[in-house]
């Protein structure tokens, strides 16, 4: 695929026929000027490289940019890059940086800036989640030689070689990996992978330097973020003069009220219940997009009773996917198949379908030594509410096979303390354009986000094999084996893929909902009232 190889931007857009991400091909009929206000939580920001929620990255995204861009269609294109080349063994990636990009302070973007950024996210002391993505081909784990208090050797991470991230010339950077990796362009669009000014050393706030279309003028946690359009943007200048995020709090009713009184022109996200309340407002347009956002009920395979794979299979057989979708998402979702690879992923392979089968599940449980089922705690978060609702509906369905669930709802902050340790819990996962990205983050042995502690050498082998195959069709042959393995042995029950939705005022033009909940304000314009 031309796009996957980043041959050239022009070619790529011709191939997929979509407006380019950074607005170089500006539509002539878009009105200029005006202000746009979008309702979204304004959370505190430590550093762009540490952004860990779509909301945080949205605040930064208007100011700082990525090397690549993954569109609504899951296809990744060059962004701050002009193009990229990759060697046949998928180990050497050459990144060609655009020559016309300027920082707010007028300095051109150089290879040194990019190298500094890539090295910084690879530093474990920084704590960026990009490190997890780079592990396995650019970053290796090693033993520090020290021992922890239990006497186990401590491990840390580092770039596998000084040459791992290499400056070729002023506008070229080369990544030299020790293992093949096809998802490099996608990794470069991972939400904290912003290119920031080395002079600011990771700080972010009003006036921060960036290559992006807007300048952050004012930022108050819990209140708002205000932007001013930049005149000398390397792409075409934004349509809007000013742009604003407004924090409306967690109360879904307040968000509806703000839309009703036009205090905001749109929301960054609106769930199915909110959409129902707002779709009758005459000035409101509803936007929807299929995503690979999901939630998995994940079981620790090294803890009782889930240490028997028949129990894990029985849990999967207890679930009526369509019922969960109807009840929890009011139908705004598609059925998942318990292997965390979505039909919209390019390497997805269709497997024989299976549905709820109480008798088979009970037999499996009896064989595993639980003829009367068992009782277990299931940990979740009450916010966002759809996660708790999912747990409640699943708990009802697990009852059918004799599994009694005690729901333990923890506030988000406390949930993230225990998410990798409790035997049974529900975790929401964000959108990722490739199936192998989630699988390597969440199920590879010892991966940082492997919440269930799943460890299966066969799975790891197949996954590494899949990561080295460029062609999605060939990859999906390996993926079929991985998916079947997940259904047979895997640690998750996965009820659905979410349809992501939001609302915008009808006067907002150029808005397209991105499955990652990313907001690019320079694409939007407001029609005069």
Partner 1 sequence: MVSFLIRRLIMMLLTMLVASFVVFAVSELTPGSVARKSLGPFATQQQVDILTERLKANDPLLIRYGRWLGVLTGVLADPLQDPASGLNFTDPRGRRYFGNFGYSTLYKLPVNDVIWDRLGHTAILAGLAFALIVPLSIVVGVLSGLKEGGALDRILSVVSITFTSVPEFASGVFLVTGFVILWPVLPGTSPMDASGGWSVPSQLVLPVAVLVIYDFGYVARMIRVSMIEVMEKPYIRTAILKGLSPRQVIFGHALRNAMIAPFTVLLLQLNFLISGVVVTELVFAYPGFGRMLLEASLFGDISTVEAATLVTVAVAIVTQFLGDLGYMALNPRIRVA
Tell me: does residue 448 bind partner 1 (CB under 8 A). Answer: yes
**Among residues 66 and 415, whose Cβ is nearest to partner 1?**
415
Tell me: does residue 37 bind partner 1 (CB under 8 A). Answer: yes
Tell me: does residue 264 bind partner 1 (CB under 8 A). Answer: yes
Q: To the nearest whole angstrom, how small is the minimum distance from the Cβ of residue 129 to partner 1?
A: 5
Tell me: does residue 148 bind partner 1 (CB under 8 A). Answer: yes
What are the Cα distances from residue 470, in Å, to 4, 259, 336?
9, 45, 25
**Among residues 278 and 332, whose Cβ is nearest to partner 1?**
278
Work out the widest C-alpha separation in the chain, in whole angstroms.
Answer: 71
Q: To the nearest whole angstrom, how small is the minimum distance from the Cβ of residue 264 to partner 1?
A: 7
Question: Which residues have a Cβ under 8 Å from the Cβ of 364 and sit 6 or more positions away?
Answer: 310, 311, 313, 314, 317
Q: To the nearest whole angstrom, how small is the minimum distance from the Cβ of residue 448 to partner 1?
A: 6
**Among residues 247 and 489, whose Cβ is nearest to partner 1?**
247
Tell me: does residue 260 bind partner 1 (CB under 8 A). Answer: yes
d(CA 481, CA 478): 5
3-state secondary structure of 140: strand
# binding residues, partner 1 (CB under 8 A): 52
Taking CB under 8 A as the criterion, the residue among 119, 167, 228, 262 binding partner 1 is 262
**Among residues 249 and 371, whose Cβ is nearest to partner 1?**
249
Q: Is 281 exposed, middle or buried (0-12, 13-18, 19+ CB in 10 A)?
A: middle
Taking CB under 8 A as the criterion, the residue among 75, 256, 284, 519 binding partner 1 is 256
Tokens 């091909």 belong to which residue? 25
- Token pair of 326, please? 């109807």
- Token pair of 410, please? 């923890």
Q: To the nearest whole angstrom, how small is the minimum distance from the Cβ of residue 399 to partner 1?
A: 27
Part of the chain binding partner 1 (CB under 8 A), chosen from 13-21, 148-156, 205-213, 346-354? 148-156
Whether the Cβ atoms of residue 36 and residue 30 lie closer than 8 Å to each other: no
Q: Is 106 exposed, middle or buried (0-12, 13-18, 19+ CB in 10 A)?
A: exposed
Q: 192-231: which residues touch partner 1 (CB under 8 A)?
A: 202-203, 221-224, 226
- Token pair of 489, please? 């042995």
**Among residues 199 and 203, whose Cβ is nearest to partner 1?**
203
Q: To the nearest whole angstrom, how small is the minimum distance from the Cβ of residue 5 to partner 1?
A: 31
Part of the chain binding partner 1 (CB under 8 A), chosen from 291-299, 395-403, 405-413, 453-461? 405-413
Taking CB under 8 A as the criterion, the residue among 410, 428, 484, 485 binding partner 1 is 410
Q: To the nearest whole angstrom, how small is the minimum distance from the Cβ of residue 104 to partner 1?
A: 22
Tell me: does residue 4 bind partner 1 (CB under 8 A). Answer: no
- Token pair of 471, please? 């062609």
Tell me: does residue 14 bind partner 1 (CB under 8 A). Answer: no
Please list, residue by residue across 331-353, b when 16 or more beta carbons sit within 10 angstroms of its beta carbon and e when fewer do.
ebbbbbbbbbbbebbbbbbebee
Tell me: does residue 261 bind partner 1 (CB under 8 A). Answer: yes
Question: Which residues have a Cβ under 8 Å from the Cβ of 114 and sit 6 or more positions away?
Answer: 67, 80, 95, 97, 173, 195
d(CA 207, CA 215): 6
* Interaction site with partner 1 (CB under 8 A): 35, 37, 44, 46-47, 50, 52, 124-125, 127, 129, 148, 154-156, 202-203, 221-224, 226, 244, 246-251, 253-264, 410-414, 416-419, 448-449
């Amino acid at each position: 695929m031309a796009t996957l190889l980043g041959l050239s931007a022009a070619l790529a857009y011709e191939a997929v026929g979509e407006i380019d991400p950074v607005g170089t091909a500006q539509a002539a009929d878009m009105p200029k000027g005006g202000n746009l206000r979008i309702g979204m939580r304004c959370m505190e920001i430590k550093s762009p490289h540490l952004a860990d929620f779509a909301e945080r990255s949205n605040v930064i995204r208007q100011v700082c940019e990525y090397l690549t861009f993954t569109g609504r269609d899951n296809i990744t294109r060059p962004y701050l890059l002009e193009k990229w080349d990759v060697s046949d063994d998928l180990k050497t990636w050459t990144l060609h940086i655009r020559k016309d990009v300027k920082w707010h302070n007028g300095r051109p973007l150089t290879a040194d800036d990019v190298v500094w950024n890539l090295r910084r996210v690879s530093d474990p002391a920084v704590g960026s989640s990009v490190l997890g993505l780079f592990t396995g081909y650019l970053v290796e784990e090693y033993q520090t030689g020290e021992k922890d208090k239990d006497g186990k050797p401590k491990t840390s991470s580092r770039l596998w070689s000084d040459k791992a991230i290499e400056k070729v010339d002023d506008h070229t950077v080369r990544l030299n990996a020790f293992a093949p990796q096809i998802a490099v362009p996608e990794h470069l669009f991972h939400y904290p992978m912003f290119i920031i000014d080395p002079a600011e050393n990771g700080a972010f706030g009003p006036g921060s330097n960036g290559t992006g279309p807007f300048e952050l003028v004012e930022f108050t946690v819990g209140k708002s973020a205000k932007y001013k359009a930049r005149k000398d943007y390397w792409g075409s200048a934004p349509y809007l003069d000013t742009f604003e995020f407004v924090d409306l709090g967690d109360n879904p009713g307040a968000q509806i009220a703000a839309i009703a009184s036009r205090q905001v022109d749109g929301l960054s996200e609106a769930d199915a219940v909110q959409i129902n309340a707002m779709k009758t407002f005459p000035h409101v347009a509803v936007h929807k997009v299929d995503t690979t956002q999901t939630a998995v009920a994940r079981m620790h395979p090294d803890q009782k009773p889930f240490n028997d794979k028949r129990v894990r299979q029985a849990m999967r057989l207890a679930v009526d996917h369509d019922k969960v979708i109807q009840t929890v998402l009011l139908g705004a979702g598609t059925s998942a198949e318990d292997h965390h690879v979505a039909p919209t992923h390019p390497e997805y392979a269709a497997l024989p379908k299976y549905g709820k089968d109480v008798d088979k599940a009970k037999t499996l449980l009896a064989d595993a030594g639980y003829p009367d089922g068992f009782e277990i705690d299931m940990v979740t978060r009450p916010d966002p509410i759809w996660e708790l609702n999912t747990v409640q509906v699943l708990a009802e369905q697990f009852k059918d096979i004799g599994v009694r669930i005690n729901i333990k709802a923890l506030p988000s902050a406390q949930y993230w303390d225990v998410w990798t340790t409790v035997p049974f819990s529900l975790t929401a996962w964000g959108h990722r354009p490739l199936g192998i990205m989630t699988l390597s983050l969440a199920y590879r042995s010892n991966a940082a986000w492997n919440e269930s502690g799943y460890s299966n050498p066969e799975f790891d082998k197949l996954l590494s094999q899949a990561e080295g195959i460029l062609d999605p069709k060939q990859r999906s042959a390996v993926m079929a084996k991985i998916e079947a393995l997940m259904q047979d042995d895997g640690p998750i029950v996965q009820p659905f893929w979410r349809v992501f939705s939001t609302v915008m005022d009808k006067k907002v033009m150029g808005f397209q909902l991105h499955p990652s909940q990313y907001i690019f304000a320079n694409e939007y314009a407001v029609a005069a009232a």
